[in-house]
Amino acid sequence: MSFHSPRSFLSPDFIIRAAARPWELNGLRQLRHQVFVEEQGIFDTDDRDAIDDIALPLVAISTFASEADQVVGCVRIHEAAPRVWRGSRLAVAQSHRRMGRLGAELIRLAVCTAHGRGCDRFLAQVQMQNVALFRRLHWAPLREIEVHGVAHMEMQADLAAYPPILDPFAGWTARSARRRAA
């Protein structure tokens, strides 16, 4: 029998939902700082901007003993113009990127939530290394752009692939696609 330290254990179950609790919002801010400031160096000190004041934050939360544990993924959505929504700041903790589904689950929650709120067009500025993932998830590339000095692809979701969700706070549980050895 082998034992894992709590820090080396990666839960196979995740809660995907809109963030509402203070610890979720704090975890989201810490994750964005870790990814966009420390890891990628896109921002010097903080990635917050005016969109954060109007955006709906969505999170992927790892579980421990079937209880919500920590924020390991996030994205934000907002209505940029009437019936036109945007997703931004998609991030997954480095320790969970190989889990196989968190980014896709967050994208699904983002687009389905906007669709449920009357979205006719959903757009995102996607870092080039993530374009293939978005294409697999029924997104079309529109044009290459530069955002904060980093190459991105402006992309649009096919709303037909994303049924409306009316309550993103209810969320769902997702299981990791990664298989663990017995």
**Structure token digits, residue 10:** 């990666």
Contact criterion met (CB below 8 Å) for 72 and 14: yes
Q: What is the pLDDT of residues 10-44, one digit of tens each?
A: 566 899 999 999 999 999 999 999 999 999 999 99
pLDDT at residue 92 greater than cutoff 60: yes
Higher pLDDT, 94 or 9: 94
DSSP state, residue 25: H
pLDDT at residue 179 greater than cutoff 80: no
pLDDT at residue 172 greater than cutoff 50: yes
The residue among 116, 117, 70 whose CA lies nearest residue 92 is 70
* Contacts within 8 Å (CB) and 24+ apart, 2-10: 6/64, 9/64, 10/62, 10/95, 10/96, 10/99, 10/176, 10/178
Q: For the chain, what are the domain ranges?
A: 13-175
| Confidence bin at 180 (pLDDT 50/70/90) | very low
| Confidence bin at 65 (pLDDT 50/70/90) | confident
pLDDT, average across residues 130-143: 97
CA atoms of 99 and 112, how far apart (whole Å): 22
Residue 2 burial (CB count, 10 A): 3
What is the structure's pLDDT at 99? Answer: 66
pLDDT, average across residues 160-164: 98
What is the structure's pLDDT at 12? Answer: 67
Q: Write the CATH number of the domain with boundaries 13-175.
A: 3.40.630.30
